[in-house]
Structure 1
């Protein structure tokens, strides 16, 4: 007989999410585990926390209800700088997931954790608290800023750092926390007030004084564990971190003055900034990646000051080292972004100002007794142009091209800014194109988020500048010309984010489009492909710019039309379909041919020379009230080029067969064509102009004689 339990099975109930959470925390608290196991447990906990928000919306009990202060202390303890990088990275992700899920309750636990650790006041507690703060600042800046401003916290750091026997790890962890606190301006003034003095002691410590003082140490004193050191001995890492934090704080004097209510010691700090910048420059060649990262970050903030920009920009060795660092920096890394920031600061021109903006700035400067609003002479165009030259000669353009495809959005904008500044000098644009700038700028315009209208317009304007001065046939060997059209067309309409319209980008875009419409091909054999693409994408905007109050923009629009109508299909489609719009366009081009501005008349004359070859358009020209008179005005012009255009137009008009040719002779004779073309032939020295004028003159005289005979 079988027993009652034979063949039966016990099915275990599935573990709840709360139980899984508690089990994971129990395993994390055990200690003595392999790093991979700890990282795996943290990853599983992060997954549970990430799912918790969605599940609680469906009515399930949140797992945060079982996470008490000891659990939070466990996670934050794994952010300790003494933990392996893999564990710290996973603990950071877990912390982020917890704060996103726990909300206000999580913020309260964070506050409780820091108060408890700081009250214990052991070196170990300081290290854990400072390391956790460093990780939390990018995640919950406002919360951490409030804790930093807790009464007594920042003032307590100076005595801690000035202890006769100190922990190097506490010192390093504290400085890393302050470095993270400087991510935004909210903490700058407080750190300046309470920490700047002891940071300067760390940075500018005199090694000779240190050695002399060491002989006076009481040798029977007990020394703290984990690397405690006597007196003022600061490790190199701490000195470097302090230098970076100090530079971040002192690089923003105006904000400091406003927040503090007192004038910071900027005058005395200037020489220290120069000393530190030279130290950072030397550190760029260090073997330690950590030292190089500190040097790049320090210079990135230092070069926000004009005198440091000039110092670094004229140091060829430093520029070449920065280029090498940029070439070897990991993609999307802080090192890449920091190096790009330095180059962006060195090459940045002052923004263009309208006359009204200049007057307002001058009034503000006069109203300010110290004159602080006056522009620094080191930021004028001449100094920036020279720094751009030195940066370009250091080889930055090719390095930027190589980074363009893999850079983050933030780094890509820095690349765009640098290329924008380098493209100001016209003689450099061909070299920029050869080194891949066009491809990078087209990619940037397409890659940068559409909400970032400003950066995208900067990329488009830099692209326009390069394309104005180069042969498109050489540039577009590997990418289609049409890829550049959309960025350029985006500049033809006003910037929606700007209070006043800057017409320079529009003018440069028109010039670049004119170059693209010059008839070059990118290897496909269709010389009109770019013209058709431009008309499809931009004709309405181009037409509107014909009425622009700025004469140069208006002229550039006419010049673009002149190149676009070299395509017969576009010429007939725009001017010869017999519609009211086509008639209006003919009237506008004729008006442009009668403008006061010679370049505008020249461009309009070129367009008329192309479109007058077609019967329908020729009829439209002749039926305009002053059509024949305006064209003959070109023939009388003092400019040889304009007389040539006028002669070609009248030659085209009388060459049409049937009614159009007859109408042309009648209109030209009635408008004084014989006298005008006689003057044209006498004034001209170019054989083509003389031949065209004589040919038309003969035709008109024959027509006149025939008319008189009949």
Structure 2
């Protein structure tokens, strides 16, 4: 370990520069090469291996009485918290380590570097429950004092971050930790938020980064959300911390600048400020209510989950303020600059919440939000070339579906060209993720509904897009199931997608009413049944699909067979075309929808034309002409009149009759 002092300095320099790749590599190597210690099969061998490697020299330097050694030990431990917090926590909990930190403050009470190192160590350690249990009231008092001193913004920011993490962690820690006398740490949350807000507006980059981290923790509190969202100067300054990079270039920001920027913290703050409460099912809402009752504060104060400051109206107002001061441009820039999956995913989630307000959607498109979402989605979902083609959807966590949902919302309310641009390839690229959201087992009903709506809009663009939508893995089978869904809006959206695909894709047209009449018969039966439901839009979509399909003789044949079997096809089509309702029936006396009338008439006409065409094909026309010719000498023949009427109808139906 003779090389450890230089290693400590190197890792600390890399930490300050934002380049943690080397320490990550060292810890990863130690974890991979470690084995469970003898007799301790249930332990964490990786953590133990890192602790055995770095613990003794760190403890040795922190027990020294020279400022240089103390700084080396504390700086390394601070860096280790950012790389492998489990091993760093284990080292901090070793006998004498925390006492050495306290002693350092006594040995060098006027040392700015020691105070900064201690505050930074506490700021990193306070984010973890096991370490919070070690921090005493004496340490909290020291942090409070340093957060209020007026001369050193870096020290002030680190101390404030430590206090924030302590106060936010109290509610989730075990009772014995909560009762350690640090309850007052949360009493000054507003004061801490104002302090860190000021550091962001006025401070240098080093103090701003710590302040942003602290605010990222605090913005789960509705009161803090309101405080920050009402300060336009703060929002503008916060968003300016996100490095800008032009597409295809590195821009004015170097990779080191990007790494040092508080990118993740800024994105988390935006996400927290604009997040709506989860939409719960009735069962979920009841469970949440019972949980709140069990954990209700004794003083009757509203919890963060029930605060009126987090209702939809307040969230919408905050989101509009964010958009006004440049949040969209910051999110798009963050998605472009960041290589971190966590940053990109949080950007996607924030954009999802911002799309809830329809007034924001056009602004999101103008800021390049759809391209940012596609970039995020492509980083989450493996390409089809890199995966084995199968009917199973790739594994996605629920949070990873949210950027796709944001893209779907944009695709629902805008034309495909507005969302994806003139390059049709971008539109094609969107089909697969939207299909995955539709068929994935973890998607909720709202996400499936929005996927259906977006795909319907895409399929209306042109026939080539409709064909690609229809051929997406698992899509048609899922859509056919959702046409039977009890939820009216989902059933309607599925039917509208089928209507667009029937009209735009020959493969779907044939599947529902083509040559394989036996296979399509049940599908036609479902469509006819949907022509008779209460929902007008579903009836329009279903009858439109049937009207298109009845241009196929095979589909007409299947419909006639269904009429003979079920006795329902012609009555349903007749109801569509019925103009004059029964005055005694209030439901039928409502003025008919012209679209339904038109579709009904087209369906009936096509059925009759199909009958006429079939009559000609099998020789009935020739037989009828023969009857007329045979009866020419006897004009009183009883067969002559009905034969002439039939031939007249066939002639009017477009059948060529030759004598």
TM-score exceeds 0.5: yes
Query: How many Å apart are 1:76 and its aligned residue?
Result: 2.9
Counterpart for residue 562 of structure 1: 499
Cα distance in 2 for partners of 1:331, 1:71 equals 30
SS in 1 for 2:242: helix
**1:654 and 1:662 in contact (8 A); partners too:** no
**2:274 and 2:354 in contact (8 A); partners too:** yes
> Residues 110-121 of structure 1 correspond to what in structure 2 (within 5 A)?
110-121=54-65
Query: How many Å apart are 1:419 and its aligned residue?
Result: 0.8
SS in 1 for 2:486: coil
Matched, 1:601 2:545: no
TM-score with structure 1 setting the length: 0.72
**1:448 and 1:455 in contact (8 A); partners too:** no
Choose from 142, 150, 159 the match for 2:94. 150
Counterpart for residue 364 of structure 2: 432
How many aligned positions are there? 565
Choose from 143, 151, 156 the match for 1:239. 156
Matched, 1:592 2:530: yes
Matched, 1:530 2:465: yes
SS in 2 for 1:120: coil
Query: How many Å apart are 1:534 and its aligned residue?
Result: 1.1
Cα distance in 1 for partners of 2:94, 2:525 equals 74
Counterpart for residue 310 of structure 1: 226
Cα distance in 2 for partners of 1:600, 1:493 equals 21
Query: How many Å apart are 1:98 and its aligned residue?
Result: 7.4
Query: How many Å apart are 1:349 and its aligned residue?
Result: 1.2
Cα distance in 1 for partners of 2:322, 2:167 equals 25
**1:176 and 1:241 in contact (8 A); partners too:** yes
SS in 2 for 1:251: helix
Cα distance in 2 for partners of 1:84, 1:583 equals 67
Measured at CA, do residues 93 and 414 of structure 1 come closer, stay the same or move farther in structure 2, by a change above 3 Å? closer
Matched, 1:186 2:130: yes
Counterpart for residue 386 of structure 2: none
Matched, 1:347 2:285: no
> Residues 421-460 of structure 1 correspond to what in structure 2 (within 5 A)?
421-448=353-380, 452-460=396-404
Query: How many Å apart are 1:124 and its aligned residue?
Result: 2.4
Cα distance in 2 for partners of 1:266, 1:641 equals 67
Counterpart for residue 553 of structure 1: 490
**1:634 and 1:643 in contact (8 A); partners too:** yes
Cα distance in 2 for partners of 1:93, 1:556 equals 48
Matched, 1:375 2:375: no
Query: How many Å apart are 1:89 and its aligned residue?
Result: 7.1
Measured at CA, do residues 418 and 479 of structure 1 come closer, stay the same or move farther in structure 2, by a change above 3 Å? farther
Matched, 1:614 2:541: no
Counterpart for residue 634 of structure 1: 576
Matched, 1:485 2:431: yes
Cα distance in 2 for partners of 1:368, 1:78 equals 47
Choose from 489, 507, 525 the match for 2:449. 507
Cα distance in 2 for partners of 1:334, 1:606 equals 55
TM-score with structure 2 setting the length: 0.78
Cα distance in 1 for partners of 2:416, 2:328 equals 19
**2:409 and 2:450 in contact (8 A); partners too:** yes
Query: How many Å apart are 1:424 and its aligned residue?
Result: 0.5
Cα distance in 1 for partners of 2:307, 2:334 equals 32
Q: Deviations over 1:572-630 (max 9, x none)?
A: 34321224321111111111112233322221111112211222222222221222221
> Residues 225-304 of structure 1 correspond to what in structure 2 (within 5 A)?
235-256=152-173, 258=175, 260-262=177-179, 269-270=186-187, 272-286=188-202, 288-304=204-220
Choose from 57, 66, 74 the match for 1:130. 74
Higher-Rg structure is 1
Counterpart for residue 329 of structure 2: 398
**1:467 and 1:512 in contact (8 A); partners too:** yes
Cα distance in 1 for partners of 2:67, 2:154 equals 18
Structure 2 stretches lacking a partner, 5+ long: 35-45, 245-252, 383-394, 579-587, 618-644, 654-659
Counterpart for residue 539 of structure 1: 476
**1:243 and 1:276 in contact (8 A); partners too:** yes
Counterpart for residue 608 of structure 2: 654
Query: How many Å apart are 1:193 and its aligned residue?
Result: 5.0
Structure 1 stretches lacking a partner, 5+ long: 1-68, 208-233, 521-526, 664-697
Instruction: Tell me whether 123-132 or 430-439 shows the greater mean CA deviation.
Output: 430-439
Cα distance in 2 for partners of 1:339, 1:288 equals 16
Measured at CA, do residues 138 and 700 of structure 1 come closer, stay the same or move farther in structure 2, by a change above 3 Å? farther
**1:251 and 1:305 in contact (8 A); partners too:** no
SS in 2 for 1:624: helix
Cα distance in 1 for partners of 2:223, 2:514 equals 61
**1:348 and 1:384 in contact (8 A); partners too:** yes
**1:464 and 1:508 in contact (8 A); partners too:** yes
Counterpart for residue 359 of structure 1: 286
Cα distance in 1 for partners of 2:609, 2:447 equals 41
SS in 1 for 2:262: helix
Cα distance in 1 for partners of 2:21, 2:542 equals 67
Query: How many Å apart are 1:152 and its aligned residue?
Result: 4.9
Q: Deviations over 1:106-135 (max 9, x none)?
A: 633422223322332332221111012112
Query: How many Å apart are 1:164 and its aligned residue?
Result: 7.8
Counterpart for residue 348 of structure 2: 416
Choose from 205, 211, 236 the match for 1:320. 236
Counterpart for residue 142 of structure 2: 198
| RMSD after superposition | 3.4
Measured at CA, do residues 506 and 91 of structure 1 come closer, stay the same or move farther in structure 2, by a change above 3 Å? closer
Query: How many Å apart are 1:366 and its aligned residue?
Result: 2.3
Cα distance in 2 for partners of 1:199, 1:349 equals 34
